[in-house]
Chains A and B, each alone.
Chain A
Amino acid sequence: MSRDLGSSRLWPTEVWARPWSLPRYRAGAMWLGGIAAGIVVIGAGVGELYLWGDRLLGLLGRCGLGAAWVAWIWVLVKLGCVLGVIVANGLWAVWWERKISAHIQSRFGPMYAGGFHGWAQTIFDTIKLLFKEDVTPAAADQPMHALAPIVAIAPCVMAFAPILFGTELAAARLDMGVLYIFAFAGISVIGVVMAGWASGNKYSLLGGLRAAAQIVSYELPRGFSVVPVLMFAGSLDLAVIDRAQAGYWLGFIPRWFVFYPVVGQVSFLFFLIASVAETNRTPFDIPEAESELVAGFHTEFSGMKWSMFFLTEYGYVLLSSFLLAAFFLGGGAAPLPFLNFVPSWIWMTGKAMFMMFVFMWFRWTFPRLRVDQLMDFNWKFLLPWSFANIGLAGVMLWWMLR
C-alpha cells in the first residue's frame, strides 16, 4: 500500500528546517551505523578466526591427522576466510557506496530490498547477476573475453594473503609482504587490458588502453610513497610495520606513521591518491569514464563476468584501505592508550572502513581528470615529490638515529 503524502510538497527549505520531526527523514546518520555494521560484517569472520584459530589447529592435530594434512587444511581455511572477506566486501561495499552516494546527494538510495534501508539490495542484485544471460558479443575474442575477468580477479584474491586484519592476524606472514602485494596488485591490469581488447568494441579498447597506461604509471608513486614507512619500520613485513606503530608519544599521541611530521602526511596523501588511481575510481576513473567511454573496458560484459570486475574493483578498494590502515594509521593499535582493551581487528577493520568511506567520499565529490592531465599529475607532481619525500625521510631517520 502506498502512503499518501498529500499535496504539500516538502521543499528542502522545510525538510532541513525540522529534520528530526519528520519520521521518514531519520536516515541522516545512516552511514555511522554503516561503519559499525561494516566492522561486524568484515571483522566477524576474521575475529572468530583470531579467537578460535589455535583451538581449531589443536583440534585438527588431535584428530590424528598428519602435520602436513593439518597445514593444508589450515591453508584452505585461511583461503576460505580471505575469499569470504572479498565476497562479503563486494556485497557490503556496493550497498554502502550506494547509501553514501545517496545521502551525499540528498536522496535515500536502496530502501526496499530486505526491509531495513534496503540492506539486502546487493544480495538480490547478486542473485540477479547470477541468473543473467552471459552475453558475448559476436565481434569478441571468445576465449580472451571469458578469461579476462578471471585474470582480473585472481591476483586481487592472491594479494590479500599477507594483508593484516589485526595485529599478527594474516593469512600468510611474508617477509616481503609489501612487495608481494604490490606485485600481485599490478597483475590485474592485464585482465583489464584483455577485457578491453577482447570485447571487440572501440570504447572498450580505449578504456583498456587507458587503464594500462594509468595503472602502470601510478604503481610508481604508490610504491615510492610507502618507502619512508619501510625506512622507519625497517622491514617489508606488514606485521613488523604494524608493530612499529604501537605506543604513544607523550602518552597520548599515537606513534602512527601518519603523525610523523611532514613525511608521514605527504606519504599518506600520496599513497591515498595513488590508491584511488590504482582502483580506477573517480577522480581517476578514466578507464571506465561513463560519460565518454560508456563503461570503458567492461562495456561488453554482463552477468557474473561483469560482477567479477566489480568484485575486483571493490576488492582493491578494500586492499588499499587495509594497506592505508596498516601503513599509516597504526594498524591494530588503538588511538588512545585506554582503548587498548578493544581487540586489534576491530581497530584495523574500523580504520580500513573509514578509509573506504574516504574513497567513496572522493568519488561522489570530484570530477574526473583527463588522460593527459592524469599522466601529468603523476609524472610531474606525485613522482618527484615522493622522491623528495624519501629524501626527507632519510634526513629525519638520520636525525632520529643520531
Chain B
Amino acid sequence: MISYFKTVFTSSWAFVQGLWITLRYMFKPAVTVQYPTEKLHPYPPFRGALLFDAAACIACGLCAKACPSSCIALAHQVNPETKKRVPKVEWYTLDLGRCNFCGLCQETCPTKPKSVWHSLDYEVVFSTRDEMVRCWKPGFPLGGRVWDPVAKDFREPRGHLPVSASPARK
C-alpha cells in the first residue's frame, strides 16, 4: 500500500520535473537560424560546389583520376603545328549531379593555387540535368557556365552564390 502511493508520488514528481525542463527552455532564446532570411557562412574547410580556374590548370588530369564518381572530364590543348600536348585545358567539365563533395580532386591538384577547389557555396540547386554540368573553357569565369541545349550556347548557372562570395582559394 505504501509502495503504491510511493509509485504514484514518484511518477507524478517525474512528470513535474519534465514539465519544469520544457518550461525552462521555453524562456530561453531559440538557437535556430531563420534560413532563407538569415544565412551562415560555412567554416573555411567547407566542401561546397566546385570551382575551377582554367588559367591555372595544367591539364594533368589528376583530379579526373582521383574522382570516385567520375564527375570530372577534361581535354588538354594540342599544339596544331607540332601536335604536341600543351599544358592547358581545352575544355573542362564537372558534373555536380555526380559529385560526392569528397575533396579528393582538390587534394590531388598539383597547381598552386589550386585550379579546382571547393567553394563555400552550399545552395547547390538545379532545375535541369543539363544545369548540373558545369563547363569551362579558357576565359570562362571560375563558377563555370552551363550548356543550354535549346539555345545551343553557354550561359551562366542560376541561383548560386556569386563566386565573389567564396573565400580565397585554399
Contacts and interface: CB of A to CB of B under 8 A. Distances in A.
Q: Do A and B come from one complex?
A: yes
Interface in B27-72: 27-34, 36-44
Contact of B29 (A6, A27, A111, A112): A27
Contact of A106 (B30, B37, B38): B30
Contacts of A84: none
A117 B34 CA distance: 12
A83 interface: no
Contact of A103 (B18, B30, B38): B30
A105 interface: yes
B25 to A, nearest CB: 6
B36 A16 contact: no
A252 interface: no
B30 to A, nearest CB: 5
A364 interface: yes
B26 interface: yes
Nearest to B36: A2
B26 A7 contact: no
Contacts of A29: 27
Contacts of B21: 365
Contact of B40 (A5, A16, A27, A361): A5
Interface string B75-104: 000000000000000000000000000000
A62 interface: no
B168 interface: no
Contacts of B25: 103-106
Interface string A86-110: 0000000000000010111111100
A10 interface: yes
Given A7-B43, A361-B22, A2 B29 contact: no
B30 A366 contact: no
Interface string A24-54: 1111110100000000000000000000000
Contact of A100 (B19, B26, B36): B26
B40 A31 contact: no
Interface in A1-32: 1-7, 9-12, 15-16, 19, 22, 24-29, 31
A317 B22 CA distance: 21
B30 A102 contact: yes
A108 B37 CA distance: 13
A362 B15 CA distance: 9
Given A104-B26, A361-B19, A7 B36 contact: no
B29 A16 contact: yes
A117 to B, nearest CB: 11
A7 B30 CA distance: 18
A10 to B, nearest CB: 7
Nearest to A106: B31
Contact of B34 (A10, A28, A111, A366): A111
Interface string A270-291: 0000000000000000000000
Interface of B: 15, 18-19, 21-23, 25-34, 36-44
Interface of A: 1-7, 9-12, 15-16, 19, 22, 24-29, 31, 100, 102-108, 111-112, 361-362, 364-366
Given A6-B41, A19-B28, A361-B19, 19 more contacts: A1-B37, A2-B38, A5-B33, A5-B39, A10-B33, A15-B29, A24-B34, A28-B26, A31-B26, A103-B26, A104-B25, A106-B25, A106-B29, A106-B30, A106-B31, A108-B34, A361-B22, A365-B18, A366-B15
